[in-house]
Chain A
């Protein structure tokens, strides 16, 4: 497994595009926190600081797409043939990709977290407030945000492996988050809607976007999101093992 993990890391470190994608996360965080403050966020209310830090979980959108590239990107560039020639035991390839991409996703989450802290503290002092790390419940929010990033990277690997077509996988993931989950939520009702993946991620990252949605508790969101990651990974494993590479 170690040689495979080394190979997967080298695949990531020898091209530029995945890093450009992940770099969008911190940019989103800066924009989000700035927007929050500029649109009248109350810097004297600790809950506002919490909302600022919660952008780490929202930046996981990019980590999700990053994960999709793991397998679907290989199909796109035709490198999947070489990958399976080197390692005919395809399950091990999927496992290595899950480990490497989830780790990279976590690191991306940490980077976003650091940026979020710095930008939030900076805006708070600029607006005359004082940012209190503990009053804002920062540990829980940042830890949740990092976990969302890691989970979304893993889910992305699974989605990419299942659909194999890069453009389709990215479009499907974005459509789900932007639109389809919302509609599905309305169909199943608010009680069940909070078990859907994006809602679960909002619970885990303490990123209640609208402020009105019913969400699972943070630990519940974590378990549910982990469940989705495992389910997608298992489905990806099964299909990848059986499918012809033509």
Chain B
């Protein structure tokens, strides 16, 4: 199994230091909540972990290896980012097949993940006809396509109805219970409190807290209070 480790990570865009000396580990077999206000460096950190953005200093490793050196990236890490887009004229199934081709994933996985996210009936429709919730589920299907050991999800519940949110919670739980590493970045603290084992709170490019949710307390209020306190102080 593969844990995700971020070590002294630093990234500056022009005059803006987005990430400064960030360090944390997301353990295997647990759901880790990655929390932080807008502009906290959360998204930048995730993009560095995924090799989309190059760090100025430090390291981001998956099972001890940077993303760019993974032999089979999609089979190791499944990512769902907010900025990921779809060609509006392409059918959902073809979107997944394009990725399966490039990543060397067998074609039957496409139908398997479509069934897993309940998009089988919409598989032949073009993405421009999809609602937000359907796009989110297609993004989730993309992340699951390679049956990866690590799941990295940014606001996965966005646009899902209550049944979908409950289903997602169950999915993340079962993935973690199988020993996979699950990282969920989210603003919805009440949902996070119900789902995660481990919490990393960041603001202004640095880690403010990293540890089991139990240390904060798992009631809604406990997480929210801790979050606001930790992220306000840093400014």
Listed in ascending order, the chain A residues whose CB lies under 8 Å from chain B are 3-4, 6-7, 10-11, 14-17, 77-79, 81-89, 242, 244-246
Contacts and interface: CB of A to CB of B under 8 A. Distances in A.
Nearest to A80: B85
A81 B52 contact: yes
Interface in B143-193: none
13 contacts: A3-B102, A3-B104, A11-B87, A14-B98, A15-B87, A15-B90, A81-B83, A81-B85, A82-B84, A85-B50, A85-B79, A86-B74, A246-B53
A86 B86 contact: no
Contacts of A245: 47, 52-53
A245 B50 CA distance: 10
A15 B92 CA distance: 11
B18 to A, nearest CB: 10
B68 interface: yes
Nearest to A245: B52
Contacts of B70: 88
Contacts of B73: 85-88
Given A15-B87, A78-B83, A244-B52, A85 B74 contact: yes
Nearest to A242: B54
Interface residues of B, number: 34
A17 B89 contact: yes
A10 B68 contact: no
Nearest to B104: A3
Given A78-B85, A84-B52, A88-B68, A7 B91 contact: no
Nearest to A89: B68
B88 A77 contact: yes
Contacts of A88: 51, 67-68, 70, 73
B10 interface: no
B81 interface: yes
A245 B46 CA distance: 12
